Structure 1
Amino acid sequence: MEDVKNMDMEGALVRPPEKEEKMEGKNRGKHDKPKPWDDESIDHWKVEKFDPSWNESGLLVTSSFATLFPAYREVYLQEVSPIVKAALKPYGISFDLNMVEGTMTVSTTLKTRDPYIIVKAKELIRLLSRSVPAPQAIKILDDEMQCDIIRIGGLVRSKERFIKRRQLLLGSNSSTLKAIEILTNCYVLVQGNTVAAMGSFKGLKQVRRVVEDCIQNKLHPLRHIKEMMVKRELGKRPELATENWDRFLPKFKKKNVQKKKAISIEKKPYTPFPPPQPPSKIDLQLESGEYFLNDKKKSAKKWQEKQEQQAEKSAENKRKRDAAFLPPEEHLGLNSSKFGDGKNDVIDIVMSLKKKAKDLGTKKAVENVNAEDYIAAPAETSSKKKTRYGLRQFYRSDSLALLKPLVVVIAELCIVCIAGKDDSPILLLSTDVWPRHTEPAQQAV
């Protein structure tokens, strides 16, 4: 037990610190006495080979173990059955292959001397059932060889995800699996829902950790391989035997992948009574009173409902058609410094426009300006030459200049103010841009 306490995580034996010669207290170190049979040269982890002279009388009770094997292993097991029997015969173990029941059985005999060999034989048939070749499985009978069968089928729910992660453990062309075998000094075989491994206790512990982390998606196998390679190189340096190796090992940051929220389906409370029967068509007619109407009234009611539906549909279609003719909303985005800001500016502009229109009307009444007097009437003769000559004379004369005051009047009356939400006006035409031409009108008068 003292050696077990002084083991590190990798299974290596660490020598405990030397105890002080002088013990304090009355009973301190009472049982700490020198043991002549306990020497440092003795390897307590070494398993000595069994000597048949230790148990000459044999075993009192027959022990047997049986295991099932898949159907695809029947032909192979029939071929290697003589080899397995020959390997178990020196240990006094009988081997039986039952093809009807599909079982392999090992049991002790009167010639069996080693009591632990039956456990080794049980592990042998388990390895054979998990597709391990017979020459490799027979090595489990050695005392230095151990085995571990890792069940990976129940670690993942999704079958497709399980197949992908199992292939990740194998690698391309089984390169990842070969690297694990070299670094752990173990034989590893991936078959179906299990992984069979053979080797030392230290190597089996590493293999189990790599396999479970890979299938559960905790850590990639290549990261485990890098870590084991670093430990292998550090183990060759004796000056680092008593130091902590965490500073040399690679550190990997695990990415937090958001998992999908499980869809929770609330179960309805259980009731022993069946749900109520939904009302039939006749029941609904009885409730509404339609059942007692004659055929003429029924058809009239149905026609009335159809007309109402058509009216609603036509009104909706008309509303959709009229929506295309509605003017879109205008977005005002003018500079407030140019057109003024506030309601006072709008009021001032409106008042000035009213004043200009009033002055213009009084001026027109006084001067008696009529626009029709300035329009040239066509000549009586309808010849093309006279008409063209009359138009040329009209354009060349100063009659066009007489129309300028009328154009100015129309332009001043076409000033449009459009007020938005903020009451900011939009001036389409300003009188400041147009110069006043009143002189020709005065000359004409």
Structure 2
Amino acid sequence: MPSTYKKDKPWDTDDIDKWKEEAFTPDQNAGGTFSEESSFATLFPKYREIYLKQSWPMITRVLEKHGIACTLDLVEGSMTVKTTRKTFDPAAILNARDLIKLLARSVPSPQAVKIMEDGVACDVIKIRGLVRNKERFVKRRQRILGPNGSTLKALELLTQTYILVQGNTVSVMGAYKSLKEVRRVIEDCMANIHPIYHIKELMIKRELAKDPELKNENWDRFLPHFKKRNLSKRRKPFKVVDKAKKVYTPFPPEREKSKVDLQIESGEFFLNKQAKERAGRERREENMRAKMEERRKRREEAFVAPGEGGAGEVKAKKRRKEPKADGEEAG
């Protein structure tokens, strides 16, 4: 029998994407309705209540297309999704679970409903437990945003994802490969590696992917390798101790005397209550007398008579003025 694999295939052209996954339709669900009901619920914060109440009709319409029922409980503060007899796609309930999770993390409704599309996934990264100190955590979380949100915008453009930094979590939506890249950038940022290094690396990868010759080669020689340098180490200590002058002694330094030890040495410790009060009163009076004497001396300094040289200078000035006055009268 002649071989047929070398025959021309006019239907097989280069513009066909052989890896494309077709959308799942109700006709492909050969099993029929599900035997059991699956449901997921999540809580949402109080400040999201008004927004969710306004956008819930739109969310209900989107989920109805996939046969998913949803409930908003404002009393309990929870959202619930569950399968119905109209549900035909088994993965729809998992996408609906991710949808309510994103809505609880302050993702806008028009953006959150895109999770129901094929090829779109989400990842909620918990960043609070990665840094112990709160002030350090706030600084490193701000690095993800950058000045006026420029760093976050650059990450979104390079990875083709949607990123929202809210509280103690970072919500990411996009393709699976892009989610891994963004998670690596976020975790490294919390480990004190600035996102600008990853942005530079992603930009180089983006340009290399456009080159058909380098598309399938190893890119390690093109990627930057940043050395970790700790600049906080001092080459010279603040206080240099000359060990040659210091004599070594095996005995520890003498312990400083406490307040009780000093009272025992002076004998004040053994006095009774009245004697202690009398001694304290005498001490205060003695200090008061010393201060009064010091103030008296300071006041008397203003009444000290000037020396003889000062009086002679005043008389000389008067004598100089007198001839001038006689001349004026004569004139």
Instruction: Normalising by structure 2, report the TM-score.
Output: 0.64
Partner residue in 1 for 2:144: 169
Query: CA–CA distance in 2 between the matches of 1:257 and 1:108?
Result: 57
Amino acid at match of 2:215: A
Equivalent in the alignment of 1:316: none
2:195 pairs, out of 221, 224, 232, with 221
Q: Distance in 2 between matches of 1:68 and 1:44?
A: 41
Of residues 97, 100, 103 in structure 1, which corresponds to 2:78?
A: 103
CA positional deviation for 1:90: 1.1
Residue of structure 2 in register with 1:366 after alignment: none
The residue that corresponds to 2:220 in the other structure is 246
Q: Which runs of 5+ in 1 are unaligned?
A: 1-33, 260-296, 307-445
2:169 pairs, out of 173, 187, 194, with 194
Q: Separation in 1 of the partners of 2:158 and 2:124?
A: 19
- Taking the aligned partners of 1:77 and 1:98, their CA distance within structure 2 comes to 10
Corresponding residue for residue 84 of structure 1: 59
For residues 105-136 of structure 1, the C-alpha deviation after alignment (integer angstroms, 9 at most, x for no partner) is 00001111111100000000000000000000
After superposition, the C-alpha distances for 1:129-168 in whole angstroms (9 at most, x for unaligned) are 0000000000000011111111101000111100000001
The 10-residue stretch of structure 1 (247-256 or 190-199) with the greater mean CA deviation from structure 2 = 247-256
Q: Which has the higher contact order (CA 8 A, sep 6+)?
A: 2
Secondary structure in structure 2 of the residue aligned to 1:128? helix
- AA paired with 2:72? L
Secondary structure of the residue that 1:81 maps to in structure 2? Answer: helix
* RMSD of Structure 2 on Structure 1 (CA): 2.6
**Percent of paired sites with the same residue:** 58
In 2, the alpha carbon distance for the partners of 1:243 and 1:133 equals 40
Report whether the alignment pairs 1:209 with 2:193: no
1:39-438 mapped onto 2 (5 Å cutoff): 45-55=19-29, 57-217=32-192, 219-256=193-230
Q: Deviations over 1:387-426 (max 9, x none)?
A: xxxxxxxxxxxxxxxxxxxxxxxxxxxxxxxxxxxxxxxx
Q: Cα deviations across residues 13-34 of structure 1 (Å, max 9, x unaligned)? A: xxxxxxxxxxxxxxxxxxxxx9
Q: CA deviation at 1:47?
A: 2.9
Q: Which amino acid aligns with 2:165?
A: V
Deviations 1:215-258 (A, max 9, x none): 111x2100100010011011111111232211111121111367
Return the index of the structure with the highest Cα Rg. 1
The match for 2:238 is none
Change (3 A) 1:255 1:100: same
Q: Distance in 1 between matches of 2:135 and 2:17?
A: 48
Structure 1 position 46, deviation (Å): 3.3
CA–CA distance in structure 1, aligned partners of residues 271 and 47 of structure 2: 75
Query: SS state of the match for residue 80, structure 2?
Result: strand
Alignment partners' CA distance in 1, 2:41 and 2:98: 11
Letter in 1 for 2:203: M
Task: Please give the alpha-carbon distance, in whole angstroms, between the structure 1 residues aligned to 2:87 and 2:29.
Answer: 9
Q: Distance in 2 between matches of 1:208 and 1:67?
A: 23
Structure 2: runs of 5+ lacking an equivalent: 6-11, 234-269, 280-331
SS in 1 for 2:42: strand
Counterpart Cα distance in 2 of 1:46 and 1:121: 23
User: Which SS does the other structure have where 1:104 is aligned?
Assistant: strand
- Opposite residue 217 of structure 2, the aligned amino acid is E
Q: What amino acid does structure 2 have at the position aligned with 1:84?
A: I
Equivalent position SS for 2:86: coil
Q: How many residues align?
A: 228
Partner SS for 1:97? strand
> TM-score normalized by structure 1?
0.48
In structure 1, how many angstroms separate the alpha carbons of the residues matched to 2:197 and 2:271?
81
How far 1:43 moved relative to its partner?
5.8
SS in 1 for 2:81: strand
SS of alignment partner, residue 240 of structure 1: coil
- Partner in structure 1 of residue 301 of structure 2: none
Alignment partners' CA distance in 1, 2:34 and 2:186: 39
Question: SS of 1:252's equivalent?
Answer: coil
1:267-295 alpha-carbon deviations (Å, 9 max, x no partner) = xxxxxxxxxxxxxxxxxxxxxxxxxxxxx
Q: Secondary structure at the match of 1:72?
A: helix
